[in-house]
Structure 1
Amino acid sequence: MSKPDSVDLSAFSVPGSGRGILDVFSYGYLLRLLVRKGILTRYHGSVLGWAWSYVKPTAQFFIYYVVMGVFLDLSRGIEAFPIYLFSGIVVVNLFNEAFGNATKSIVNNKALVKKIYLPRELFPIADVFIAFVHFLPQLSILIVVCLIFGWVPTFVQLAGALLAIFIVLLIATGLGLLFGSINVSYRDSQNLVELILMFATWTSPVLYSFTMVRDKLPTWAFDLYMLNPLTSAVELFHSAFWFPTTSEAAERPEHLWFFAGISVVVALVVLLIGQFVFRKLEGRFAQDL
């Protein structure tokens, strides 16, 4: 009996295999659908709708300003304290929303994960994009206020702001992939993420000046503090929005661009680690969900 002719399978791919984040770019249409769905449903059924994107950060700013600026009198040592405060808040808010939502993205989309194959990285990356869209109204408020105070930034300062956004989105994506994959099997990891988000506000110079940290810590400890990607991103935003509205007496961290470059490297390493762990655990997603 003759053997059957072999079938050419070169045009087919192994089900469930892929290239991770790189495959997301092949699903651009689906990514846009996920982002659009997240944006449209964010304030669905609410009276104010998208106005909440302006109301919530404004309310947050006033609370911090009254407590930190008035009651604790920190505004006395920081010129143009309202701009300093709000330019830091918008950066931390972007990180908190992107990282927090990406962590829950796989669990929130379990119906799709269990039924069809697609790059599961689509879900945390879509949530990071959604967080960026919600960040834009806060950024617009900051720009308007800065213009009122005579804001005239340089090209380098604006480039620094763009780099800060890139750092935040990169580190949030990496951490979102890491904790989003772990959260499928171990839901208490979400509690750890909430602790990280709580510390994010206080471990970066948002509510206080970096000089307070520099004056209290030895040089090596302050350098470690500046190596925090979120710290570098906040200071880049301060340099872009706060510094141009102050006098020459205002201080900026030395070697800020050096620390920003290190922060990009750290964020890339976190992204690679997050992708590695995600790829290792995604085979269990459908089962654990």
Structure 2
Amino acid sequence: MAVDNGTSTEVPRATPATPVAVEVPLADRPFERVNQPTPFLRGFWPTAKEIWDYRELLGQLIKKELKVKYKDSVLGFFWTLLRPLLYLLVYAVAIGVFLGSGRVIPQFGVYLFTGLLAWTLFTDILGGCTGSIVGNAGLVKKVYFPRELFPLAVVGAGLVNFLLQAVILVGAYVVTWTFPAPGDLLLVPLALVALVLFATGLGLILAAGNVFLRDITYLVEVGLLLWFWMTPIVYDWTKVRTTLVDDHSLTALFEVYLANPMANIVLAFQRALWPGGLTEQGQPFYYDGNLYLRLGVIILVGLVFVWFAQRVFARWQGNFAQEL
């Protein structure tokens, strides 16, 4: 018989067992997309804001582009000045002396350099952008940030080199003591904006395309060579007009030639920065069209082109890491 002594014994309750975490193998884990897809028509501005948030990183990438380009080089940044000077010397001798253009076009050296100044910036941007994603494959596969920063860093480094090369042109003005007329100097910033927009849009597409088709690098080299001779840099535009319009009545083909954005940009640089065109001898080589209107159209088209190129780049970048 049990006797109640006034005390009770509390029986402990069973506590639920703590679940044991089971580590899922990495191969069996679901993929998580880092950059969420955005609508094609409305994704540009969120990306632009994200690029602005990473502006400090963009500055560091620009510095890296400038340093890596001439790494372990004895002359370093002096190559930025020597390369256009060597081009100028070769073309001045071959075209100006042997073919006689220097006897016809006044201050032929300055005329050449104004065109080479614009063209060098264009080729630096396109050539650098094409290999920008492939060349930074390690970062692309490990860290997330807007991939557009790589081509934009190339554009920034190209602008720095452009400013350094412009010092040579200023030095030529001082040596010859001939200066361009201030009335057309507004063409320079307009032409520079048009060039950067057009080259940036094309560079974004080439950078993304080169990830999937590495032959694009070699196609760009060949294309730029052909493009160079379709632009009035080492010859004057009047020779094209005489050959196509006066001799063969191919006016439509001449208009196609003038539709080349780089032709208009180079013509603008020549009109604004070539003092020889102010002389009576140089007047026939001035393009008499409305370059302000033409550059305005190129800038507007360039803005749309950059938007379109970024949206194409955004569509393709999801497979960059897999392809690299």
- Listed as ranges, the gaps of 5+ residues in structure 2 are 1-32, 37-42, 245-249
Which residue identity is paired with 2:84? P
Which structure: greater helix fraction? 1
The answer on 1:87 being equivalent to 2:126 is: no
* Alignment match, 2:253: 221
Q: Secondary structure at the match of 2:150?
A: helix
**1:182 aligns with one of 179, 190, 209:** 209
Q: Deviations over 1:109-168 (max 9, x none)?
A: 111111111110000010111111112221110121023333443444221111111111
Match of 2:35 among 8, 12, 16: 16
Partner of 2:133: 106
2:319 corresponds to 1:284: yes
Task: Determine the structure 2 residue equivalent to 1:7.
Answer: none
TM normalised by structure 1 equals: 0.89
Partner of 1:247: 279
* Aligned-partner SS, 2:185: helix
Counterpart amino acid of residue 99 in structure 1: L
Which runs of structure 2 are paired with 1:1-289 in the superposition (5 Å)?
15-17=34-36, 19-217=46-244, 218-243=250-275, 246-249=278-281, 250-251=283-284, 252-253=286-287, 254-289=289-324
Per-residue deviation at 1:21? 4.0
Counterpart-to-counterpart distance in 2, 1:197 and 1:24: 29
Distance 1:265 1:151 in 2: 34
Q: Percent identity?
A: 37
Supply the AA of the counterpart residue of 1:194: E
Count of paired positions: 276
Q: Which residue of 1 aligns with 2:22?
A: none
Contact 1:229/1:264 (CA < 8 Å) preserved in 2?
no
Residue of structure 1 equivalent to 2:20: none
Secondary structure of 2:203 counterpart: helix
Q: In structure 2, what is the Cα distance between the partners aligned to 1:109 and 1:185?
A: 15
- d(CA) in 2 for partners of 1:76, 1:269: 43
**8 Å contact 1:68–1:207 — kept in the other structure?**
yes
Greater Cα offset, 259-268 or 107-116: 259-268
- 1:174-210 Cα offsets, whole Å, 9 max, x none, are 1110011010011111122112211232111101001
- Provide TM-score, normalisation by structure 2: 0.80
Moved more, 64-73 or 223-232: 223-232
Identify which range, 46-55 or 248-257, moves more after superposition: 248-257
The one-letter code matched in structure 1 to 2:34 is: P
CA shift in 2, pair 1:208/1:180, >3 Å: same
Larger Rg, first or second structure (1 or 2): 2
Q: Separation in 1 of the partners of 2:190 and 2:134?
A: 31
Residues 1:67 and 1:256: Cα distance change in structure 2 (over 3 Å)? same
Deviations 1:22-64 (A, max 9, x none): 4211211000000011112222211111111111111111011
Deviations 1:191-243 (A, max 9, x none): 22112211232111101001111122233322222221111111111011114
User: Are 1:151 and 1:241, in contact at CA under 8 Å, matched by a contact in 2?
Assistant: no
CA drift at 1:245? 6.0
CA contact (8 A) 1:177 1:274 kept: yes
Q: CA separation in 2, counterparts of 1:98 and 1:168?
A: 10
- The unaligned stretches of length 5 or more in structure 1 are 1-13
